[in-house]
């Protein structure tokens, strides 16, 4: 099956960025492990710091892929446009946050994109992406 992980702003700096919150592992390294573990599936990856590029990728993949794992990062708290894009497409979208956003600043308590997703995972580190993938596979196998 075909899945895509879409990461938003500043997630290209995972492993270097606020390591006390986001950990020491770069996303490429994690992705390499994930792809090895799920080598019978295609796991595409896209990261952008630009809101419109994230929307373009959601639109481009959202009628063909078996699922999207989305960490829109700070845009999760602000972007009506990304929330609308998620509502527009057909592929199921699972929202992932590496940190526990509910234990952080007040401005992170507004979640604009989450309501458009099938569900969301927050605070389980990079393991959250694996959980999202497991869920999508589980859903597909019970269709």
Q: Would you count residue 108 as binding ligand DQA (CB under 6 A)?
A: yes
Catalytic annotation on 129? no
Smallest separation (angstroms) from ligand DQA to the CB of 23: 10
Strands (E), the chain: 2-7, 42-47, 67-71, 93-97, 119-122
Between CA 24 and CA 33 the distance in angstroms is 15
For residue 53, what are the contacts with CB-CB under 8 A and spacing of at least 6? none
Between CA 49 and CA 129 the distance in angstroms is 19
**Which of 22, 65, 75, 129 is flagged as catalytic?**
22
Smallest separation (angstroms) from ligand DQA to the CB of 141: 27
Binding window for ligand DQA (CB under 6 A); candidates: 28-36, 40-48, 67-75, 83-91 = 67-75
- The SS3 assignment for 127 reads helix
Binding window for ligand DQA (CB under 6 A); candidates: 31-39, 53-61, 70-78, 86-94 = 70-78
Window 12 to 31, contacts with ligand DQA (CB under 6 A): none
Q: Would you count residue 57 as binding ligand DQA (CB under 6 A)?
A: no
Among 61, 79, 91, 99, binds ligand DQA (CB under 6 A): 99
Between CA 58 and CA 5 the distance in angstroms is 10
């Amino acid at each position: 099956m075909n899945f895509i992980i879409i990461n938003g702003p500043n997630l290209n700096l995972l492993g270097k960025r606020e390591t006390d919150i986001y950990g020491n592992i770069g996303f490429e390294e994690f992705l390499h492990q994930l792809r090895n573990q799920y080598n019978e599936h295609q796991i595409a990856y896209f990261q952008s710091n630009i809101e419109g590029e994230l929307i373009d990728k959601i639109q481009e993949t959202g009628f063909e892929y078996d699922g999207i794992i989305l960490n829109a990062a700070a845009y999760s708290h602000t972007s009506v446009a990304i929330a609308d894009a998620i509502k527009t497409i057909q592929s199921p979208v699972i929202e992932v946050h590496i940190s526990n956003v509910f234990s952080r600043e007040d401005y992170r308590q507004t979640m604009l994109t989450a309501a458009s997703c099938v569900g969301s995972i927050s605070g389980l580190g990079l393991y959250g992406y694996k959980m999202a993938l497991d869920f999508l596979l589980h859903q597909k196998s019970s269709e």
